[in-house]
């Protein structure tokens, strides 16, 4: 091995200072952690000048840093681990996306005789996730051969990053990434769930369509990295779940417009209330609800009851009238209400619902509170105020029930029917719920993920319900102090809750009439959106002008894009999608964002799998042509929406 002199202490001190300045400029919180860190290990150099990290006589690189890095890089290039997406399926798209995908495949396969390989044809990747920072000397080579735009570093502790400040030039990396409009992200945590959640967040907000083929580089073995690998392998497709479709956004704008245009709608306003001693029941429609209904009925007069979606039927059938009925979906709720109202009077229950709910629903209730969901187009157009949202409301109605109760100031929670999965796939909901009626449309759930059960043993959840469970755990973690969360559900264990059998519940009696007073008080704190206020938000000409502007900008990007060889067009798309300059623009771009992301995912998936290099240019022109046609359809659809709503009924 060629000998080299180790860097002098002066050089290492200068590099550390320069790196710390760079961290202060780009990652201030991490810089503060680095500045206060007291290392338990130390940097050492061998006689050949190779660096290492030594802890209690053990060396991180086993005294062979350079050869370790060299062999690891060779292995990564020859047999890379990467996130591979499943082939996009037209059946999973809405109309405009389905037509796009079917058209590019028909024109490519039948007309142009283009064939596609199973895997991506290059090691180059927009995203690289590096599991393990070490001393950082592997980083530049990975950036070089992957030509990545975004690097996500994962490490269980800050120790190695601290030492790398004297060995690796982080300031130069940050500058290089800035020059190519790239990103560097750090996840310094020992929690694999947190790592996966934030990976999904980074991918979805930086450039979701380019996640296919994301490289995952393992620098050293650790339980965190093994768990992260497994999360990516099992649930990698969650990166693209719920991006949204234009058809849904159009429907949600129509519903919101009708629901709010009367000038009498009560809009939720966050209260961040002081703690109240009255307990609350959060009721979902999981299969274990059946066994707990007698106990809910026994204690319902002594707690505020929040019914989540289809839990309403089983509750009413058991003789329990909830105080609040929570809804979030924009469709599929009407059949449930029709089913329940045939047997029960639900008019006196207070409905707390998203503005996007089916308009016919409101006819069943006297008291209605509307809230906005911030990821949807109506939020930015009609409110753009976080006070009008329910905290931690996504992704399901149970999340909204919990977030609503937390914001109202409850400190003692009892959860029923919040199973987050099932032991028997045939028993997916409470037995006497709408979901077992003859005409019910069942949600698509594949209960394939084993997880710990609340009262011991295991149960199984789906990708979607796992996301719901994780979001509930985050809401509980953020609202832990001074609160008790009792999980009475015979379903999944929920971190932050106390498993509790319902027959052990003992509650003090509430004063008669207190429940009704509480509901009335909540209603009184929700301001009414007047007709004038409504019209100040929905301004037809401005909305149409913004639609035209966005369509023209997206067409311009499609016209110049080099879909096969570089990524600047994807960064431009992302800037349009996630960096609007006004509330109106934020709302209007949401019309298009989900569908455009799904279209780009499908297009890029096949663009990087064209077998013959001679056919790549031909496929790129097919892709460009179909993208422009899809944008024309989107333009026409959204312009028709504005025209239909131009003269709303008072």
pTM attached to this predicted model: 0.84
| C-alpha closest to that of 84 among 53, 47, 127, 136 | 127
Q: What is the mean pLDDT of residues 421-440?
A: 66
pLDDT at 444: 61
pLDDT at 333: 79
Q: What is the pLDDT of residues 149-201, one digit of tens each?
A: 999 999 999 999 999 999 999 999 999 999 999 999 999 999 888 898 899 89
Structure tokens at 308: 């989540």
Instruction: Indicate the pLDDT class of residue 647, thresholds 50, 70 and 90.
Output: low
CA atoms within 13 A on the CB side of 620: 16
Q: What is the mean pLDDT of residues 274-292?
A: 91
Return the bridge partners of 307, or none.
Answer: 283, 325
Instruction: Indicate the pLDDT class of residue 441, thresholds 50, 70 and 90.
Output: low
pLDDT at 1: 52
Return the bridge partners of 52, or none.
Answer: 44
Determine how many CB atoms are found less than 10 A away from the CB of residue 286.
29
553 contact partners, CB below 8 Å, separation of at least 6: 576
Helix (H, G, I), strand (E, B) or coil at 394: coil
399 touches 475 (CB < 8 A): yes
| Angle of the 95-105 helix axis to the 246-260 helix axis, nearest 10 | 170
| C-alpha closest to that of 312 among 260, 271, 279, 351 | 351
Structure tokens at 168: 């690796």
194 contact partners, CB below 8 Å, separation of at least 6: 187
Question: 243-257, 332-346, 368-382 — which is least confidently predicted?
Answer: 332-346
Structure tokens at 440: 């019910």
Distance CA 414, CA 505 (A): 9
Instruction: Indicate the pLDDT class of residue 440, thresholds 50, 70 and 90.
Output: low
Return the bridge partners of 528, or none.
Answer: 266
| C-alpha closest to that of 82 among 134, 133, 120 | 120
Q: What is the mean pLDDT of residues 368-380?
A: 94
Q: For residue 166, count CB atoms less than 10 angstroms from its CB and return exposed for 0-12, middle for 13-18, buried for 19 or more.
A: buried
Give the DSSP H/E element, type plus range, for residue 228.
helix 223-235
Return the bridge partners of 183, or none.
Answer: 150
84 touches 121 (CB < 8 A): no
pLDDT of residue 649 exceeding 60, the answer is no
pLDDT of residue 341 exceeding 60, the answer is yes
Mean pLDDT value across the chain = 90
């Amino acid at each position: 091995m060629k000998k080299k002199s180790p860097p002098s202490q002066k050089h290492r001190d200068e590099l550390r200072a320069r790196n710390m300045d760079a961290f202060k400029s780009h990652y201030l919180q991490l810089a503060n952690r680095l500045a206060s860190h007291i290392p338990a290990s130390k940097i050492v150099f061998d006689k050949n000048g190779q660096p290492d990290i030594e802890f209690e006589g053990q060396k991180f690189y086993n005294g062979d840093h350079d050869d370790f890095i060299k062999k690891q890089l060779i292995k990564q290039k020859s047999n890379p681990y990467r996130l591979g997406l499943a082939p996009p399926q037209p059946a999973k798209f809405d109309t405009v996306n389905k037509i796009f995908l079917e058209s590019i495949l028909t024109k490519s396969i039948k007309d142009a005789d283009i064939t596609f390989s199973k895997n991506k044809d290059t090691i180059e990747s927009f995203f690289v996730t590096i599991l393990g920072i070490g001393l950082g000397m592997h980083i530049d080579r990975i950036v070089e051969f992957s030509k990545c735009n975004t690097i996500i570093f994962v490490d269980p502790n800050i120790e190695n990053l601290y030492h790398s400040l004297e060995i690796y030039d982080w300031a130069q990396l940050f500058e290089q990434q800035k020059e190519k409009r790239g990103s560097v992200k750090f996840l310094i945590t020992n929690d694999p769930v947190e790592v996966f959640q934030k990976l999904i967040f980074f991918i979805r907000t930086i450039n979701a369509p380019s996640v296919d083929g994301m490289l995952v580089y393992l620098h050293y073995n650790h339980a965190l990295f093994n768990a992260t690998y497994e999360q990516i392998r099992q649930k990698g497709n969650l990166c693209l779940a719920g991006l949204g479709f234009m058809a849904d956004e159009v429907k949600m704008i129509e519903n919101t417009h009708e629901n709010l245009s009367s000038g009498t709608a009560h809009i939720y306003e966050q209260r961040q209330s002081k703690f109240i001693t009255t307990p609350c029941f959060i009721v979902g429609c999981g299969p274990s609800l059946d066994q707990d209904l007698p106990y809910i009925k026994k204690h319902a007069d002594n707690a505020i009851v929040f019914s989540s979606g289809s839990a309403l039927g089983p509750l009413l059938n058991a003789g329990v009238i909830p105080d609040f009925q929570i809804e979030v979906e924009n469709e599929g709720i009407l059949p449930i209400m029709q089913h329940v109202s045939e047997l029960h009077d639900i008019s006196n229950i207070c409905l707390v619902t998203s503005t996007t709910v089916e308009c016919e629903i409101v006819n069943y209730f006297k008291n209605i509170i509307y809230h906005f969901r911030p990821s949807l187009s109506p939020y930015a157009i009609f409110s753009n105020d976080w006070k009008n949202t329910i905290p931690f409301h996504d992704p399901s109605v149970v999340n909204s029930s919990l977030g609503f109760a937390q914001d109202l100031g409850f400190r003692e929670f009892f959860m029923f029917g919040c199973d987050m999965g099932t032991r028997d796939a045939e028993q997916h909901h409470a037995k006497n719920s709408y979901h077992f009626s003859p005409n019910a449309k069942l949600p698509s759930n594949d209960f394939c993920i084993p997880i710990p059960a609340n009262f011991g043993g295991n149960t199984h959840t789906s990708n979607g319900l796992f996301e719901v469970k994780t979001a509930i755990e985050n809401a509980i973690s953020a609202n832990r102090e001074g609160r008790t969360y009792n999980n009475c559900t015979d379903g999944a264990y929920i971190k932050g809750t106390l498993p509790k059998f319902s027959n052990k519940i003992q509650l003090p009696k509430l004063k008669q009439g207190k429940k009704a007073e509480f509901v009335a008080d909540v209603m009184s704190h929700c301001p009414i959106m007047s007709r004038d206020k409504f019209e100040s938000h929905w301004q037809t000409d401005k909305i149409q002008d913004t639609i035209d502007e966005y369509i023209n900008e997206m067409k311009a990007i499609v016209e110049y894009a080099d879909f096969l060889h570089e990524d600047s067009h994807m960064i431009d798309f992302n800037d349009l999608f996630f960096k609007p300059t006004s509330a109106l623009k934020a709302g209007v771009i949401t019309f298009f964002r989900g569908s455009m992301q799904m279209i780009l995912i499908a297009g890029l998936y096949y663009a990087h799998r064209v077998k013959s290099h001679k056919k790549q240019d031909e496929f790129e022109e097919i892709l460009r042509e179909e993208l422009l046609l899809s944008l024309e359809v989107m333009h026409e659809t959204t312009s028709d929406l504005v025209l239909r709503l131009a003269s709303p009924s008072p």
